[in-house]
Every structure is written in structure tokens, then in C-alpha cells.
Amino acid sequence: MTMENKQRQDCDDFLHYLAQEKRMSVHTVNNYQRDLKQLLTFVHTNELKSWPSIKSSHIRQFIVQLHQQGLAGRSIQRVLSAIRSLYRFLIREGLAENNPAQAVQAPKSEKRLPSTLDVDQMNALLDGTQTVGFIACRDRAIMELFYSSGLRLAELVSLNIRDVDMGDHLVYVTGKGDKSRVIPVGTKALNALKLWLAERDKLTFFEQTALFISQQGRRLGVRSVQKRLEHWGKKQGISDKVHPHRLRHAFASHMLEASGDLRAVQELLGHADISTTQIYTHVDFQHLANVYDAAHPRAKKK
């Protein structure tokens, strides 16, 4: 058996081990097979005729080649995972002494901006939601509050009636890591909340402290809120799914576009690190350029 065939056989033995002993799914095994086929092509092209002859530098060269071919960072990470797993198997079988892929890292994936809704879309969604009846009033108040104050889904469903200060136009939120923050609530959101509370009181669930409840008087859950937003998005004919994340992102984007104050938006969103806010929001470059030109002492035109 040639060395090339021996390496192929070792890979086949590894795949058999994944399927039979590790009980991995057919889909996962097929992914490993596809990734290792690319590795074998590289190994044979570069005449690396034994597993111990493959060094970390070769794996890095292979990764660079995949990156140049346009493979995404996440896919390259999966390839690396397959190679590491293969070498753990080879070491166990006495066919290799170390794992050359262990310290190799994939290029960072480009962080995708979450899709957002523009101001006109948000107005159409909110104004198009009915304000008659228990469910419609509740759903309108939920969406208005998401957009008004940029709440996370978990934050919204955990709100109690006492967390909303109607007089001072504020909502008191407990966010990630049990960190508390106070966020302004806009006039339209307050009006929607007042309509909702009036409907809520008709069912006389006065002992229930939750702000948003079902018709059975139970605190509304995460999945229920997601389904209701999706329902209204479809009804308004909005492309892509409308979900809490999009409304929170719309809040952040529109606030940043209007103010240019990244630090303030960071505080409103409850982000510990401002870099999270930068990823979470997107502002058109021209707006940032205008802010820069107006504010930076070395950028101002004479």
C-alpha cells in the first residue's frame, strides 16, 4: 500500500470510528469526510507522506490556502476541528506523536450586522398594530416598549408593573449579570402601556405582578412574545422575520444615527463594552464622516 493510500485508509478508519464508536450523525461524519478530503489533497500535493511529517506550519499554509479560496472563517474553524479530531485518533492509534493543528487558529469571522428596520418600517409596524382588545393592546405596548427603550427580550418578559414609572417616563430594568439600569420611555410607548393596563385590569388579574400577561393571567413567556412579533411583521408585509432583536437593533441604530453619541447608546443598551455597541449598531459612513469633520480639530476645513 502506498503512503497516499495508507493516509486515505487512516482517514476512513477515523470516519468509521466517528460513526460506530462515537455515534456521530451521518451529517456530521459527511462534513468531516469532506474536510479531510481537502486536507488529503493538500498533503499529497505537498508530498507530506506521513502523519508525523505534517507540522503546524503546514497546517497554517493549508488554512491560508482555504482562506484565499474564499472559505469563511467559521467553515475554516470546522476544518481545523476535523483535523484536530483526526490527530487525536492518530495519536491514540500510535500513528502520530503530536497534534500539529492544536495551536493553529482560524481567521476571525467577519461579524455580521443584525438586519434592522428603518424608521418608516418601524412606524408602519407600530401604527399598523391595532389598539382594540386585550391581545392587540398588549402586543402594541410590547413593540412600542422594545423600540422606545431598546430592551432585551429577557428584560421585557421579566418586567413587573411597578418597574414602569409613568410619572417620570422611566422603566427600571434588570439586565445581564443582574445589572440594573434606568431607561427613558417615550410618549407613544407610555400611551400604549396605559391602553394595555386598562385592558389588563378588565380581566381583574390584580394579584399578578407581571407587566405582560396572557389571557389566562400568566406571565408572558419568551416564545410567546417572539410569535406575536412575527405575526405582526407578517401582517404588515415586512421582509424577513420581525423579532425582538430587530426592534432592539432598530432602537440602537436610529438613536445613534440621530445623536452620534455612541457612549449614551451603550448605556441605554446596557452594554459593558462599547465595542459590543459598535457591532450592534450600524450608522451610514457619511453621517460618521460629517460628525468627524465637524468635531475633530485637525479635520476642520479653513
Q: 3-class SS at 183?
A: strand
Amino acid at 55: K
d(CA 251, CA 265): 9
Among the options 49, 60, 152, 181, which is catalytic? 152
Edge-to-edge strand list for the sheet holding 180-184: 164-165, 170-174, 180-184
Among the options 138, 228, 243, 248, which is catalytic? 248
Among the options 32, 87, 147, 280, which is catalytic? 280
Among the options 16, 176, 241, 300, which is catalytic? 176
223 in active site: no
Q: How far is CA 32 from the centre of its chain?
A: 26
Q: 3-class SS at 25?
A: coil
d(CA 150, CA 30): 42
CA distance to 80, 82, 114, 117, 248, per residue, from 110 (Å): 18, 22, 12, 21, 21
- The answer to whether 134 and 206 are in contact (CB under 8 A) is no
87 in active site: no
74 in active site: no
147 in active site: no
Among the options 245, 246, 249, 254, which is catalytic? 245
Instruction: Tell me which residues are annotated as active site.
Output: 152, 176, 245, 248, 271, 280
